[in-house]
Amino acid sequence: MILEVDGNEEDRALVLRARELEVGMRLSRAGYGILREDGSVRDEAVREWQKAHGREATGELTIADIVAMDDLDDAFPPEEIYLPLSGEGPDVFAADGWIRAQGTWILEGETIAFPLNRHIYDCDIASGSCTHAETVLATIGQANHLRLSLETLRITSWNPPVLTLEPTGPQGCRRPVMTINTEAKEVFEVTTQAGDCEGGFERLERPRVARLVGSQEVGYEVMEENRRSTFEHMPTAVRSLLERAGQVVE
């Protein structure tokens, strides 16, 4: 494999070595052969990758090849993702003026939540408010980004078994209204347009409906999707081997 870089001879050698190791690890993880003992990339691995992607199989990487390989990081996200256990739906509890709902939000019509999230709502009916704890995990390439936040929601109505909540602060051009049905164990949030949007927010042409579901089932769906992505970007020989071994996610 040959890479060309600018700079003095020593700098070029260091950059070349670092870039070659980076490319080699990507190819090795994707199943395109292993590294040499000195950590360099085998030319046949490069040729196999180039051939699989409709490029001229020279064994030498071009700048365009390296740019295309950047997509391998996103194609091989971590497969194992575990969220707190729950049943087929969200966990909803109600007792003595206290209501809790917890689970993962998905948009209606979508099969997988992104970014991956976990929400807990603790509501005290007497005080007229709920504490909302949010955890969001976004995986970009091989990096995980975690965000934690707390906020207070106000109870706008309690008509058993339905509790209705809204944010306490201004929400700009959108108005989210959340409902918790303690009997049906259902939690929805409907967001509607409430004015003109600024700062690049698109106008909602119709209400956006989100549903709280069990976190465990969403975690399993994300893991299956990650496995599919990994399989699709592997070389033909590796895919065939996995298919024969029954390790393919349909």
What's the confidence (pLDDT) of residue 130? 97
Q: How far apart are CA 231 and CA 30, in angstroms?
A: 9
The encoded tokens of residue 7 equal 């700079």
The answer to whether the CB of 70 falls within 8 A of the CB of 105 is: no
pLDDT tens by residue, 106-159: 888 765 555 678 899 999 999 999 999 998 877 665 566 778 899 999 999 999
**Which long-range contacts does 85-89 make (Cβ < 8 Å, 24+ apart)?**
85/215, 85/216, 86/214, 86/215, 86/216, 86/217, 87/214, 87/216, 88/214, 88/217, 89/185, 89/186, 89/213, 89/214
Q: How far apart are CA 99 and CA 88, in angstroms?
A: 19
Which stretches of 47-115 are assigned E, i.e. beta strand?
91-95, 98-107
Does domain 91-223 fall into CATH 2.40.160? yes
What's the confidence (pLDDT) of residue 104? 86
pLDDT tens by residue, 147-160: 889 999 999 999 99
What's the confidence (pLDDT) of residue 5? 47
Q: Where are the domains of the chain?
A: 9-76, 91-223
Q: Token pair 């690049």 is at which residue? A: 200
Q: Which runs of consecutive H residues, i.e. helices, occur in the chain?
A: 9-29, 43-52, 63-69, 71-75, 215-232, 236-244
Quick one: DSSP state of residue 35?
A: B
Q: Enumerate residue ranges in the chain where pLDDT < 70.
A: 1-8, 10-26, 28-42, 70-89, 110-115, 139-144, 200, 216-250
